[in-house]
Amino acid sequence: MGRRKSLEPIPRAPSITHAPDYAEPLRAWRLWEIEDVDAIPRLRSLYRLRFWPVGAPFVARCEAHRFRLRRRAGHAAPTETCSCGIYAVPLEFIRRLALHDRLPQGNSLVIGAVSLWGDVVECETGWRAGLAYPSRLFVPLACSDAEEKATGLADYGVPVELLDTSSVTDALDAVAQLQV
C-alpha cells in the first residue's frame, strides 16, 4: 500500500445538490373574495372556504382523497397526477373569463398578483403551487365598503390599491394598463 501525499485529494462520494428552477417566486394572478373574520376583512379563496393567512404563506394541501370511497394515501401538493395546489394564472386569462361572464358573481372580488413558490406545476392555463402569498392587491370601488376593506387588507403587508371602476371587467382592464 502506498502512502498518499498530503496535497492529494481524498476521494469522496459525489455530493448532489439541487439548484432551484427559479431564483425568486413565480408571479401570477388570482381573484379572491373579501370576507370578514372577526370584523376584519380577509382574503378567501373563491371556490373553497379557506382564508389566506396574514404574514404567512398559504400552504396547499390535497383534499382529493376526501371525495373518494377508496382512500389513497395523502401526498404533498401539488403533483402532476392530481388537481391539487394553489391556482394562479396570467392576468389575460382572468380578463377572458370576465368578458365571457364566467366569474363568480359578487361585489366583493379582489384582483391580486400572487407569488408562487415551492413545488410549482405548470398547467395549460396557468400554474398550481405548493406555497403562495399575495404581492399586490386591487380593490374595485364597486366593492361595497371598498375603502374599509382595503384598509383591512393592508394587514397582509403588501400594496393595496383602490380602483375607480364599476365592474370586475373594468378593474381588470385598469390593472392591465398599469402593466404591473
Query: What would the pLDDT profile of 45-72 be if each residue is shown by its tens digit?
Result: 988 889 999 999 999 998 766 555 455 5
CA distance 32 to 58: 13
CA distance 43 to 153: 8
Q: Is the pTM of this model over 0.85?
A: no
- Confidence check: pLDDT of 6 > 50: no
Question: Over the chain, what is the mean pLDDT?
Answer: 84
Instruction: Output the CA torsion 102→107→113→114 (10° steps).
Output: -80
- Confidence check: pLDDT of 108 > 50: yes
CA distance 149 to 24: 29
Q: Tell me the domain boundaries of the chain.
A: 26-178
Q: Which range has the top average pLDDT, 21-35, 37-51, 97-111, 160-174?
A: 37-51
- Confidence check: pLDDT of 73 > 50: yes
Print burial letters for 23-36: b (CB count within 10 Å at least 16), e (below 16): eebbebbbbbbbee
